[in-house]
Amino acid sequence: MYLSRVLLNDRNRTTQQALAAPQILHAAVESCFDRNSKRSEDSRDRLLWRIDYIADKCYLLLMSREQPNLSSLATQFGYPDDPSLKETKAYGPFLERLREGQRWRFRLRANPVRSSPRESDERTGRGKVFAHVTHDQQKNWLLMRANVNGFSLDPEEFTVVHSEWKKFYKSSRGGHQVVIRTATYEGMLTISDVERFRIALTKGIGRAKAYGCGLITVARPVEG
C-alpha cells in the first residue's frame, strides 16, 4: 500500500473546475496508474482519494495498492516544475505498527447516508438513499460505524468540521446527475480491533469513494 500527496494549485481555473466536479479528479486519479495493466477488483477497491485544505493549501491525498505516477496530476492541477510538491510513501510499515488501545487524531471525509428499503429508487430499483444533513445525524452515522471499522469514539472528542452538497454529472457529456452530501470529520479515536482498523484505513468507510469520500487518515495527538 502507498499513501501519496500532491499540492494542487487551487488558483488555476482547471483545478477549480475539477474541485467542483469530483468525476474529473476521479479520472485524473485513475490516470496515475498504467491503463494497460489489468488491475484486479481488489486493487480497485483499495484506490481512495481525498481533498484536504491545510494552512490555506490544497492537497490531494491518494491511497493505493500500486505505486502511482503523480506526474499527470501535478501537470493538470498542481505545480509540475517543482517535484518536491508531490510525494509517495510506503504505507505498510505504518500499518504494521498499529496496536489495539492506541489513540490517534483522525480525519475522514465521508458520504453519510441512510437507505430506505420501503422506498424504491426509480433509476436503480434498490432502496432509496437519503443524505444525513444535520450535524447530529452525521455524527451519529459515524458513531454507529466505528465498532465495525475497528475503533471507538467519544462523542465529545470528534466533530464535523465541514459539510457541503456536491452536484455534478457523471460524465462530461451529461447524462445522470450525481448529488452527494459530504461531511469532514476530525477528532480523536481509539483502536479497538487492529485488523478491522487496517481494513478501514486501506478500503475506506462508507459510499462515494470514487468521488473523494471514504479515506480516513490518522496522526499522533499533539502533546501540550
Over residues 163-189, the pLDDT tens digits come to 999 998 876 666 788 899 999 999 999
Question: What kind and span of H or E run contains 163?
Answer: strand 158-171
Say whether both 177 and 156 belong to one domain: yes
Q: What is the pLDDT of residue 43?
A: 47
- Average pLDDT over every residue of 73-94: 94
- Cell readout for 60 is 490531494
Say whether both 215 and 106 belong to one domain: yes
Q: What is the pLDDT of residue 173?
A: 67
Q: What is the pLDDT of residue 157?
A: 98
Of 45, 65, 95, the residue that ends a domain is 95
C-alpha span between 134 and 41 (Å, rounded): 34
C-alpha span between 97 and 198 (Å, rounded): 11
Q: Count structural domains, the chain.
A: 2
Q: What is the percent of the chain with per-residue pLDDT over 70, rounded to a whole number?
A: 87
36 or 190, greater pLDDT: 190
C-alpha span between 138 and 181 (Å, rounded): 10
Model pTM score: 0.89
The helix/strand/coil state of 60 is strand
Range of the domain at 205: 98-219
Q: What is the pLDDT of residue 164?
A: 95
* Domain CATH for 111: 3.30.70.1210
Q: What is the pLDDT of residue 58?
A: 97
Q: What is the pLDDT of residue 126?
A: 61
Say whether both 136 and 188 belong to one domain: yes
The helix/strand/coil state of 127 is strand
- Cell readout for 119 is 422506498
The per-residue pLDDT of the chain, averaged, comes to: 90
Q: What's the pLDDT tens digit per position in 116-168?
A: 766 555 555 566 889 999 999 999 999 999 999 999 999 999 999 999 999 98
Of 49, 77, 95, the residue that ends a domain is 95
**What does the angle CA 69 – CA 72 – CA 73 come to, to the nearest 5 degrees?**
90
Q: What is the pLDDT of residue 176?
A: 80
* Domain CATH for 32: 3.30.70.1200
Q: Give yes or no for a contact between 86 and 73, defined as CB atoms under 8 angstroms apart.
A: yes
Say whether both 149 and 200 belong to one domain: yes
Say whether both 9 and 47 belong to one domain: yes
Say whether both 126 and 214 belong to one domain: yes
With 0-12 / 13-18 / 19 or more C-beta atoms within 10 angstroms meaning exposed / middle / buried, residue 140 is middle
Say whether both 84 and 163 belong to one domain: no
Query: For residue 224, is it within any domain?
Result: no
Q: What's the pLDDT tens digit per position in 94-121?
A: 999 999 999 999 999 999 999 876 655 5
Say whether both 87 and 178 belong to one domain: no
pLDDT at 41 over 70: no
Q: What is the pLDDT of residue 169?
A: 83
- Average pLDDT over every residue of 41-64: 84
Of 38, 60, 95, the residue that ends a domain is 95
Say whether both 11 and 88 belong to one domain: yes
Name the H helices within the chain.
13-20, 22-30, 41-45, 71-77, 92-96, 135-146, 194-203
C-alpha span between 126 and 147 (Å, rounded): 26
Spatial neighbors of 35 by CB under 8 A, at least 6 apart, are: none
Which of 21-35, 39-53, 170-184 is predicted with the least confidence, judged by mean pLDDT? 39-53
Please state whether 213 falls in left (phi above 0), alpha (psi between -120 and 50) or beta: beta
With 0-12 / 13-18 / 19 or more C-beta atoms within 10 angstroms meaning exposed / middle / buried, residue 219 is exposed
